[in-house]
Chain A
Amino acid sequence: MTKAATADDGSALLSWQSRQRRVVTVYVPLLIFVFILLFPFYWMTITTFKPNAELYDYKNFNPFWVAAPTLANIKKLLFETSYPHWLFTTMLVAVCSTVLSLVSSVLAAYAIQRLRFKGSAYVGLAIYIAYLVPPSILFIPLATMVFQLGLFDSPMALILTYPTFLIPFCTWLLIGYFKSIPYELEECALIDGATRLQILRQITLPLAVPGLISAGIFSFTLSWNEFIYALAFISSSENKTVPVAILTELVQGDVYQWGALMAGSLLGSLPVAIFYSFFVDYYVSSLTGAVKE
């Protein structure tokens, strides 16, 4: 960062970028980008707090502002639908599948990167390729499997199927992290008589904590956002996850309750957005780390 800053100062000196030019070429486009990227959220929020009279009347009310904010939409969502239940299911599924994926990924990444056996590179490659298999081509056969296993319409179906896209990602990320931990540390411990398990628990894992956090956060948001499996494997209203429930339970008939829909979208996005805001740096590092590895 500091390096980039000095480079920029240098280029500013050499190519003589005037302040006005910088405003036009950098700040204005940046502002437009931020505006467009954030506008849907603003619109979501503002619609949530609008009473119906304002929602459908652009002539008498300025659509960009709320004259008389109301909590009716949120109240309706929280008390007249099973939103709390959906939230609980989503949380349960996201936490369980994240934990399951993290544990399996740590072990797999450790085996591939540290235990170095014949063909470990191929196992790593196979896991990478697994990441490229999208849910869109798996959901039909998985639906028949889920049905045969008797898991249809239970959160267990989601907890077991989400790792199919979480494990490849986490393993790939953790391989990168383990690679950055000096191998000598483990050799020292081996010489001192530590068992492999002790090494993993007391040396490698503590050093890989940032990687674990990144992988965990990424997995959590990915499972929170997952849609197609949850849509295909869950049918009863109370077992649905938030994204599916808001789309299928709140949209009924031809007249859409836009206020309630936007309230649902807002409240469904908030938990994951708040969670994300605490760990932005880890999230960014996992996003870019996965791409760079």
Chain B
Amino acid sequence: MSASSPSAPRGQDLPPATNWRRPQINQGWLARLLDSKTFLIIACLTPALGLLMVFLTYPLGLGIWLAFTDTHIGRGGVFVGFENFESLWYDWVFWGAVFYTVFYTTVATVLKFGLGLWLALLLNENVPFKSLLRAIILLPWIVPTVLSAIAFWWMFDAQFSIISYILVDVLGWRDTYIDFLGTPWHARWSLVFANVWRGIPFVAISLLAGLQTISPSLYEAALLDGASSWQRFTRITAPLLMPILAVVLTFSVLFTFTDFQLVYAITRGGPINSTHLMATLAFQRGIPGGQLGEGAAIAVSMIPFLILATLFSYFALARRKWQQGEAND
């Protein structure tokens, strides 16, 4: 920097201070342009906001429009009003998908948070090889979902399932192999299990980060006051963890509700449409089925739920800032 700036006037005949002028840096038009704040703001925001506008905001609007048309692949559609939604209203496959989406989200989220919190508390104990453990535990989250789903598919095989093998031949708890993916309820629970398996690491590691911000002196004080471990958990850990829990919960619910990969990889909605999520049903009707309008209508039906989740997250975030006493962002 010093090399580029012209040296201040110096020498034998120093001019009086009143005559001194700020040395004029002869900037090119480009440098001047880059120093203009308005230009900079626009230039900096354009790539990100441009990409998001074109590939996120516009498709979101287009999707809502498509839901009200009868577009097929390769053929533009015309506006048909609520026809798509009306036919969905009388479509038991759609209602089955809505039921399973809600069931899948609720059960998987409860299990993920119960087990994830437990795992986070275990990791927060002073255990050896903590960072190695943390790295290992995150593996299910790193590996592409579809690939671990294929592993689960093989583990849920009707004839050669290793889980059945353990239950029947090793432990002798059952007489017959379980048909994991052949009957509706078995398939539903198997998918929930796979989802929980994949979701625990994210919940556990995020909550662990939250746990580590809680000051140990609070626990010491509580111990001196004679609080039991359950009291310490409900009075110190839970309230202080609540804000981060709310955010993690929002993300988890959102991504579980709109899940696609796991179900598509393992069952593709079968047997007899019992494990369709709204996303997989939208895909099946929209892309291979060609009925883009109807697929879009199913996808759009997810939006009210997403808005609820977003609002929840926003207020949880606002509450957290209020607790920290930060004035603005």
Chain A residues within CB distance 8 Å of chain B: 1, 3-11, 14-15, 22, 26-27, 29-30, 33-34, 36-38, 40-41, 43-44, 47, 55-56, 58, 63, 100, 103-105, 107-108, 110-112, 115, 117, 121, 123-124, 127, 129-130, 132-145, 160-161, 163-164, 167-168, 171, 179, 189, 192-198, 202, 221, 224-225, 227-228, 231-232, 242-244, 246-247, 258, 261-262, 264-265, 268-269, 272-273, 276-277, 280-281, 283-284, 287-288, 291-292
- Of the candidates B35, B41, B47, B123, the one whose C-beta lies within 8 Å of that of A117 is B41
Q: Known contacts being A145-B62, A292-B244, is A108 close to B299, with CB within 8 Å?
A: no
Q: For chain B residues 257-314, which have a beta carbon within 8 Å of chain A?
A: 258-261, 264-265, 278-279, 282-283, 286-287, 292, 295-296, 299-300, 302-303, 306, 309-310, 313
Query: Contacts A104-B47, A142-B59, A227-B146; is A8 near B255 (CB within 8 Å)?
Result: no
The answer to whether B240 has its CB under 8 Å from any CB of chain A is no
Known: A7-B219, A107-B43, A136-B258. A121 touches B328 (CB 8 A): yes
- Which residues of chain B have C-beta atoms less than 8 A from A36's C-beta? 197
Q: Which residues of B are found within 8 Å of A111, using beta-carbon distances?
A: 40-41, 44-45
Q: A111-B45, A283-B138 are in contact. Are A44 and B151 (CB under 8 A)?
A: yes
> In the assembly, what is the distance between CA of A133 and CA of B302, in Å?
11
Asked whether A132 lies within 8 Å of B45 as measured between CB atoms, the reply is no
Bound-state CA distance A262–B153 (Å) is 10
- What number of B residues sit within 8 Å (CB to CB) of A? 113
Neighbouring A residues of B162 by C-beta, 8 Å: 43, 63
Is B176 part of the contact surface with A, judged by Cβ < 8 Å?
A: no
Q: Does B216 contact A (CB under 8 A)?
A: yes
With A7-B216, A34-B133 as given contacts, are A115 and B138 in contact (CB-CB < 8 Å)? no
Interface of A is mostly: helix
Of the candidates B136, B217, B282, the one whose C-beta lies within 8 Å of that of A37 is: B136
Task: Please list 29 pairs of residues, one from A and one from B, whose beta carbons are closer than 8 Å in the complex, sorted by A's number.
Answer: A7-B220, A11-B219, A30-B122, A30-B133, A33-B115, A34-B137, A38-B139, A41-B151, A44-B151, A130-B56, A132-B306, A132-B309, A134-B255, A136-B258, A136-B282, A137-B299, A137-B306, A140-B296, A144-B66, A164-B51, A227-B146, A232-B283, A243-B144, A244-B146, A262-B151, A264-B150, A265-B150, A268-B147, A284-B209
Residue of B52, B126, B292 touching A164 (CB-CB under 8 A): B52
In the complex the two chains form, what is the Cα distance from A17 to B107 in whole Å? 34
- Bound complex: CA of A14 vs CA of B60, how far in Å? 57
Q: Give chain B's interface secondary structure class.
A: helix
Contact check, B41 vs A11: say whether CB atoms are below 8 A apart: no
**Are A291 and B248 touching (Cβ within 8 A)?**
yes
The residue of chain A having its C-beta at the shortest distance from the C-beta of B204 within the complex is: A33
Q: Which of B48, B210, B258, B278 is A108 in contact with, Cβ under 8 Å?
A: B48
Give the complex CA separation of A232 and B284 in angstroms.
11
| B residues less than 8 Å from A142 (CB atoms) | 55, 59
Q: Name the residue of chain A whose CB is nearest to the CB of B285.
A: A140
Please report the C-alpha to C-alpha distance between residue A291 and residue B251 in the assembled complex, in whole angstroms.
9
Closest to A160 in B: B55
**Pair A4/B41 contact, Cβ less than 8 Å:** no
Query: A195–B34 contact, CB under 8 A?
Result: yes
Chain B residues with CB under 8 Å of A10's CB are 216, 220, 223
Residue of A nearest to B50 (CB): A104
Contact B146 A194 (CB under 8 A): no
A54 CA to B169 CA in the complex, in Å? Answer: 17
Known contacts A44-B148, A111-B44, A291-B251; 4 additional CB pairs below 8 A are A41-B148, A117-B41, A225-B146, A281-B131
Q: Which of B59, B130, B134, B229 contacts A15 (CB 8 A)?
A: B229
Q: Which A residues are in CB contact (< 8 Å) with B202?
A: 287
Which residues of chain A are within 8 angstroms of B137 by Cβ–Cβ distance? Answer: 33-34, 37
Known: A232-B287, A291-B206. A37 touches B155 (CB 8 A): no
Q: Which residue of A lies closest to B76 (CB)?
A: A144
Query: B295 near A140 (CB under 8 angstroms)?
Result: yes
